[in-house]
Structure 1
Amino acid sequence: MLKKALTVFAAIALILFLFTATYAESSIVESSDVKVIIDGQLYTYAYVPVNINGRLFLPIREVAVSLGVANDNEHIIWNDAEKSATIIYGDIKVNLVINNPTVTVNGETRTFDTAPVIYKDKTYVPLRMLSECFNRKVHWDEKLRAAFITTEEQYNKVRYIAEKSSEALSAIKKGTIDTKMEIQIFGQGSSVSFTPSMSTRFDRESKRLHIVMDVPIMGNLSFNRYYGDNALYNWNMFRRNWEKTVFEDEYADIFFQNNVDVLSLANSETICSGMVVEEDAGSNKYIVKGNIYQADVFNLVNEVVYVLITFELDEYYTTVYVDMDSFLIEKIVMDIGGGLDSQLGENYSAKITCQFNNINGNFEITLPDGV
């Protein structure tokens, strides 16, 4: 009787094990679209990242190496009998066990809300678990589908420069923002290049803008517009007259700020986690860079060429040049690429350069008369 009971118990245990294993496998979602940016640099992995119950997992050896661990068996040690891994990074020693959320870091235990797993014969570790064991900050941006990992020191540097540069920009009363876009479009074995440009003069006191855009394609398209007194004035090149659009007060303020704030560094978690700071003493510049994009800069591209092309943003890298003394952002360079919806081609690459000129210059912005 006892033998029969044990047999039944063993059968039930086997069924439960198989059910659990099947459930665990089905809860793993491969996430090839996810980006991982560490210290401002985009990393790709030979084995696909996976999502388990809302947590991002990566192959342990690859992510350890991208976090700075030496890629050898002295720093990444696998114990097959115990199903455990030991990772050594500088003076930090981390011990992980498969299916165990408790990690040992330099002899002290830390418990996380998820555990390493084996998936397709590879050991996968929660990205946040290993990163935080190495004293890294982790930020997830759902819109970008990207995880950003940085050090506390770099995070604080970027945040400080973002805050100071915002103060510096707000102190500028007048100026000109010149934007150059070097765009190359690829499709069906050929390519086409063109270089749109845009110049924006602004006056904070009168809250006025003068924007000139030139698009050297299909001849040369030129756009001329003014903004002031809560109204936008567009020159209709076909009808040869000015057209006026009146804004609500709230939207008018947003429109003005969006055009002026192009040369700013957003003080956001994504920016602070996704960029790093280098100091160039020779040019007296902070160089802030990383695999992120400035939304205001990208929107400029769409604004200039939206009539002809709809861009998709798949690749991006931004470099910001900040004066060490004034903290004024002098230039932003953004390299982008991706697919597009256009008869001109299927993919594109672009380099966008925004630069400050004529700071507090002696000019006035006069709105069109009789509109």
Structure 2
Amino acid sequence: MDDLQTRLVAEARRLGFAAIGFARADAGEERADRLRQWLGEGMHGTMKWMEREPAVRAGARGMWPAARSVIALGMAYTPDRDPLAMASEGEVGRVSVYAQGRDYHDTVKKALKALARWLVAQAPESELKVFVDTAPVMEKPLGEAAGIGWQGKHTNLVSKTHGSWLFLGAIYSTLEFAPDEPHADRCGSCRACQDACPTDAFPAPYRLDARRCISYLTIEHAGPIPEEFRAAIGNRIYGCDDCLAVCPWNKFAESAARHRAFLPRAELVAPRLGELLALDDAGFRRLFSGSPIKRIGRNRFVRNCLIAAGNSGKVALLPRVEALRGDGDPVVAEAADWAAARLKAGP
């Protein structure tokens, strides 16, 4: 590794990245066929933005022909407690680990831009582009090609050091860096993530049907949640960590490696459903300022909380639920009708 590349790794670590690797700009292009098949089968649900610019998603050069290298980076958000621990606590809602702290888009992009400025200062002739989950970039295949982990059977990146708990970002550069060896798949015969999924969202290893995924249903899906999945959602009100949490490689992940921005906010570790059901739009915006949860809006979030309330068996929540049956949003009102019927029916 040449001096610039060595110093770049050190600077990335200083800025809070727990993982960094390098790949050629044409790396990961073989995954394009898999993406096209997935889209063709409709497994992306209503995420129509994934259908746009398939050639650009195929690889770095599809977006930017001048790119020579990809710098793949990961920032750790390792939890210090079991994400599945509150599954039976009906009076609280469960928020996915990644959303309990500050919005990762802001934190990762800020660090990527700082690293980019540093690199341009060292090599003024270079050009680059930075990405974090907001452009047609296949970060997980690039992370695998750059050796920071492999795309596991749950389709997320897995690291031998950080388990399933990495936020990914990428820098495309006109500089040519020495590529790292692609990471080998270390899933073996394990199918823990497949077996843990409450809604059977994995039709096969390495294939996710988003239409059945609780993370998709509670975050990306805007309409009524299909009734066939409501009971399985349990008390999850934003996302789902089950397939990540059961990965055996997590035993090597240490919460000490977590970036401080992702320390959980106390009010999001075990939020009480009764309080969340009372949120109006202004209250929702105040509570989730600086959180990725804010982007789904009050109505979708309260819809999720009503599903959790209906699954809770806690009759004490019924007055809050009843009050929402006349909500101005028809999706919220329908979820309230369903939750009220469930609570009245009893266990």
The interval holding the TM-score normalised by the smaller chain is: under 0.3
Q: Which structure carries more relative contact order (alpha carbon 8 Å, separation 6+)?
A: 2
TM-score, normalised to structure 2, is 0.23
In terms of fraction of residues, the more helix-rich structure is: 2
In terms of fraction of residues, the more strand-rich structure is: 1
Structure number with greater Rg is 1
TM-score, normalised to structure 1, is 0.22
